[in-house]
Copies of this chain bind each other. A is one copy, B any other.
């Protein structure tokens, strides 16, 4: 009986269990969760990031660079087309490619020398006999420099012309330099020779023309690039990374970015083009770059008195000003310098290569990663170091996608921009063509142009809101060539400051100018952006940039011997930037920190109050609206941060996450205002632009104040008041986007 009871109970228990199992698993609950419920709540996968980091390979990057630098690939040349095909082939690879890749063409206005009539710089006697001729090409040390596709050094967008005149040393060609010279001499009809640095390339000619200067030479002084070294017997490349005497920095001599003939319009075939004579911001007089080998010969023969100490360079002679012209004891005495330039403007088809990985949950959110493809010559460092890194990133990410192991939450767009060297043209035209779509949907833009300037430490610039995610990524990556030091720990040793909020942290830079393809994203579209690279140990060199920059020596040989032997810095950059990219693409809540933006605004405000408030009070201009705006921004940012921290967003409606992410994504858009800098083409982000006043505060305010203080005119004080209103309205408007949505 007991047995029976036991059997019955066991049976009953078994039946009950079966019933429970059937009830639980066998019958579909009407309200069971749809499959997408988990997808929408998914956060970034740290294991995947680890896997990504482990797969980024320095040797792959090295081989990418070798391939990319086989031939010169100046924009729109056959070498450029070869790199277009390479990108497309890699991004369409069935095993390691992206979801899709294509090219987009723009017909853009470029400027080239005439291969049949090379530009010339000569010294000519009063009887017009040529008594000295500057080099037309750089001296070859490897086969690279002998490639017939190496473009002659020239100043893109310099007009053609044949000016001849007495030579004058004009330091860096800044307005103050010409002003200084003009005090003691008549500059009309002279040729100025200037050093690179201190002023923009085009500015050296634009600043000169009003004084009657008719031509400009520009060279790189060994003081500014070679830590003073000059000899190619044993000091410069191929013996070191230093610039050989005949090396010449090429460049684009324009002030505005983007295609110069289609301002604010994408340069398609039928697009209206302004007449060439209406282009602004380019040299009004011929300008030509030369090597310091030739500059030495010219400068050391100049007459007059020694120039001020801060005008002196590294040559073992006095940099004289006076005359103008050569000294009487010189073989060049009474001679002129003649400048023959034959540059031509041409409409050319330039290609961007675009690639995408489609997002799974939010395909309408874009993380954009870009790098230009075109170089001046072989461009091993500029830009192919970045392109090699990008190709390694897309290989590793593409493989995970093709193997079905990963698909980002948001879409990732890769841009291989064309014609950057001529003024960020490919990226600017892209943002013009897709203006609205990109404005509405882009989470962030990551720019890696020159990936490795030098192999000492990470350098990162960007909006304050990206600091946090860059730090997080940098802490997870080993510094180049180090096994137990993170990129972050290494970085903080080289560059740091004490943040009111975070204490001692690495120092991020700001994207105030238009130095690379982030410009259109930051200044025209108001998209949160960053620029990442490896760079110098500043205690070891004063070079203003890596010495082979824009010369025929920027080759694979140079890069692999002197910039990043072993390609470990490239690897560290690829890992850090890729880590940031994955976090932006995959995080449930966007890793953009608005409180760090508030910290910046407060620092700018404090500085502005220190510098300007007492003077502004005397002209009845109140800074209170600006103070209120910054305070409301801080308060809204803290509140939003608190909400993110205190919510379990993974279990709440995905609409809430989206709402917060939209607030974070669109934050920088709120700072856009066409009234911000009406005199600066395509600069509309009220917080970011370069300030000629050079203060660490709101740039428009600093410049307006400096002008008013100098002129004392009430109309200029009105402009200060006006800009303060624009600035305050924009910061308050940005704060409005961060507060509770209704």
Contacting residue for A434 out of B19, B721, B733, CB 8 A? B733
**Which of the 9-residue segments A83-91, A146-154, A158-166, A358-366 touches chain B?**
A358-366
**Complex Cα gap A433–B654 (Å):** 29
- Expressed in whole angstroms, the Cα–Cα distance for A726 and B15 within the complex equals 76
Tell me which of B18, B24, B433, B718 contacts A16 (CB under 8 A): B18
Given contacts A270-B625, A363-B741, A725-B271, contact A32 B34 (CB under 8 A): no
Q: Does A468 contact B (CB under 8 A)?
A: no
Report which residue of A36, A653, A742 has the largest number of chain B beta carbons within 10 angstroms of its beta carbon: A742
Interface string of A620-643 (1 = CB under 8 A from B): 001011000000000000000000
- For the complex, give the distance between the alpha carbons of A724 and B672 in Å: 26
Least distance between A39 CB and chain B CB atoms (Å): 7
A530 within 8 A of B: no
With A266-B729, A361-B653, A741-B364 as contacts: A666 and B36 at CB distance below 8 Å: no
Q: Looking at the assembled complex, report how far the CB atom of A526 sits from the nearest CB atom of chain B, in whole angstroms.
A: 9
Whether the Cβ atoms of A364 and B271 lie closer than 8 Å is no
Residues 432-459 (chain A) with a chain B CB within 8 angstroms: 432-437, 440-441
Most buried by B among A24, A32, A358: A24
A742: B residues at CB distance < 8 A = 356, 358-359, 363-364, 366, 411, 413
- Cα of A32 to Cα of B33 in the assembled complex, Å: 5
Cβ of A128 within 8 Å of any chain B Cβ, yes or no, is no
Q: Which chain B residues border A514 with CB–CB below 8 Å? A: none
With contacts A24-B23, A33-B31 taken as known, whether A272 is within 8 angstroms of B737 at the C-beta atoms is no
Decide: A653 and B32 in contact? CB cutoff 8 A. no
Is A734 on the interface with B (CB-CB < 8 A)? yes
> When the two chains form their complex, are residues A34 and B37 in contact, meaning their CB atoms are under 8 A apart?
yes
Say yes or no for A679: interface residue by CB 8 A criterion: no
For A715, the closest partner residue in chain B by CB is B275
A622 to B269, CA, bound (A): 11
Contact, CB under 8 Å: A722 / B272: yes
Quick check: B433 and A733 within 8 Å, CB to CB?
yes
Q: How far is the CA of A29 from the CA of B364 in the complex (A)?
A: 32
Contacts of A133 in B (CB 8 A): none
* Residues of the B chain whose Cβ atoms lie less than 8 Å from the Cβ of A262: 725
In the complex, whether A587 has a CB less than 8 A from a CB of chain B is no
Please indicate the chain B residues that have their CB under 8 angstroms from the CB of A670 in the complex: 436-437
- A364 touching B659 by the CB < 8 A rule? yes
Question: B24, B29, B361: which contacts A655 (Cβ < 8 A)?
Answer: B361
A675 near B264: Cβ-Cβ < 8 Å? yes
CB <8 Å contact, B29 and A19: no
A659: B residues at CB distance < 8 A: 362-364
Name the one of B23, B36, B624 contacting A19, with C-beta atoms under 8 angstroms: B23
Distance to closest chain B CB from A549 (angstroms): 35
Q: Is A345 an interface residue (CB 8 A)?
A: no
- Complex: chain B residue closest to A22, CB-CB: B20
Please, what's the 1-or-0 string for A536-547, where 1 marks a CB less than 8 Å from any CB in chain B?
Answer: 000000000000
Question: Is there contact, CB below 8 Å, between A265 and B433?
Answer: no
Residue contact A440 to B737, C-beta cutoff 8 Å? yes
**Is there a chain B Cβ closer than 8 Å to A674's Cβ?**
yes
| A177 interfacial by beta-carbon distance below 8 Å | no
| Whole-angstrom CA separation of A26 from B16 in the bound complex | 13
Q: Which residues of A (713-742) have their CB < 8 Å from a CB of B?
A: 718, 721-722, 724-726, 728-729, 732-734, 736-737, 741-742
Q: Which of these, B19, B652, B655, contacts A18 with CB under 8 Å?
A: B19
> Is B33 within 8 A of A34, CB to CB?
yes
Do residues A437 and B736 form an inter-chain contact, with CB atoms below 8 A? yes
Q: Do A436 and B361 contact each other (CB < 8 Å), given the known contacts A725-B265, A725-B272, A726-B265?
A: no
Complex CA distance for A65 and B322, rounded to whole angstroms: 85
Whether B666 and A440, one on each chain, are in contact in the complex, defined by CB atoms closer than 8 angstroms, is yes
Contact partner, A653, options B26, B36, B674, B675, Cβ 8 Å: B36
Residue in B17, B265, B440 whose CB lies within 8 Å of A669:
B440
Partner of A37, one of B37, B366, B669, B729: B37
What separation, in Å, do the CA atoms of A213 and B361 have in the docked complex?
Answer: 67
In whole Å, how far is A15's beta carbon from the nearest beta carbon of chain B? 5
| Inter-chain contacts of A20 with B (CB < 8 A) | 19-20, 22-23, 26-27
| A317 CB–B CB distance under 8 Å | no
Instruction: Give chain B nearest CB distance to A333 CB in angstroms.
Output: 51
Q: How far is the CB of A636 from chain B (nearest CB, A)?
A: 11
Q: Say whether A557 faces chain B, with CB atoms less than 8 Å apart.
A: no
Tell me whether A619 is interfacial, beta carbon within 8 Å: no
Let me know if A39 and B669 touch, CB within 8 A.
no
- Say yes or no: is A11 at the interface (Cβ < 8 Å to chain B): yes
Give Cα distance in the complex from A602 to B48, angstroms. 49
Considering the complex, give the chain B residue whose CB is closest to the CB of A99: B742
Once bound together, how far apart are the Cα atoms of A656 and B651, in whole Å? 19
A659→B358 CA distance, assembly (Å): 14
Q: Map CB proximity to B onto A648-675 as digits: 1 under 8 Å, 0 otherwise.
A: 0001111100110011001001101011
A504 at the interface (CB under 8 A from B): no
State how many angstroms separate the Cβ of A406 from the closest Cβ of chain B: 16
From the candidates B272, B624, B662, B718, name the one contacting A724 in the complex (CB within 8 A). B272
Encoded as 1 (CB less than 8 Å from any B CB) or 0, chain A from 390 to 434 comes to: 000000000000000000000101000000000000000000111
Q: How far is the CB of A192 from chain B (nearest CB, A)?
A: 36
Task: Tell me which residues across on chain B come within 8 A of A40, comparing CB atoms.
Answer: 653-655
Question: Could you say which residues of chain B place their CB within 8 Å of the CB of A663?
Answer: 364
Q: Which residues of B contact A411 (CB under 8 A)?
A: 741-742
Give min CB distance, A678 to chain B, whole Å: 11
A41 nearest CB across to chain B (Å)? 9
In the bound complex, residues from chain B placing their C-beta under 8 Å from that of A36 are: 652-653, 655
Nearest-neighbour CB distance to chain B for A287, whole angstroms, equals: 30
- Report the separation of the CA atoms of residues A658 and B657 in the bound assembly, to the nearest whole angstrom: 12
Contact of A436 among B437, B734, B741 (CB under 8 A): B734
- Contact call A436/B737, Cβ cutoff below 8 A: yes
A12 part of interface (Cβ distance < 8 Å): yes
Which B residue's beta carbon lies closest to that of A440? B666
- Give chain B nearest CB distance to A21 CB in angstroms: 6
Beta-carbon nearest neighbor of A736 in chain B:
B437
Q: Does A188 contact B (CB under 8 A)?
A: no
A721 touches B669 (CB 8 A): no
Task: Check if A268 is an interface residue, CB within 8 A of chain B.
Answer: yes
**Contacts of A435 on B, CB cut-off 8 Å?**
733
Separation of A17 and B19 alpha carbons in the complex (Å): 6
For this complex, 9 residue pairs linking A to B, each with C-beta atoms less than 8 Å apart, are A24-B27, A264-B675, A265-B675, A265-B726, A268-B625, A271-B625, A272-B721, A364-B659, A432-B729
Please name the 4 residue pairs, one residue from A and one from B, whose CB atoms are nearest each other, closest first: A19-B19, A23-B23, A20-B23, A23-B24
Known: A31-B37, A270-B625, A436-B737. 6 other contacts (CB 8 A): A11-B12, A16-B19, A18-B19, A19-B20, A265-B725, A271-B725
